[in-house]
Amino acid sequence: MATPNYGYEKRQKELAKKRKKEDKLKAKADRKLNGPGDGEAPADEAAETEAGATPPAQDA
């Protein structure tokens, strides 16, 4: 039976870790350039403030 190649497994694990770190840094840079939440959260907050900004009409 063949013996496990621990060096290969370690290298693959290191490469995966490096790839994940690079992806995380890229995503962080994209968020920094594009703003928080890719513009979705501010739109939701704006809709809530617009709805709450108009006072209800009073029938008097």
| pTM of model > 0.85 | no
pLDDT, tens digit, 9 for 90 and up, residues 14-40: 999 999 999 999 999 999 999 766 455
Residue 48: pLDDT above 80? no
Tell me the C-alpha distance between 36 and 55, whole Å: 30
Tell me the C-alpha distance between 42 and 35, whole Å: 10
Tell me the C-alpha distance between 9 and 17, whole Å: 12
Residue 51: pLDDT above 60? no
Residues 6+ apart with CB under 8 A from 35: 42
More confident: 54 or 44? 54
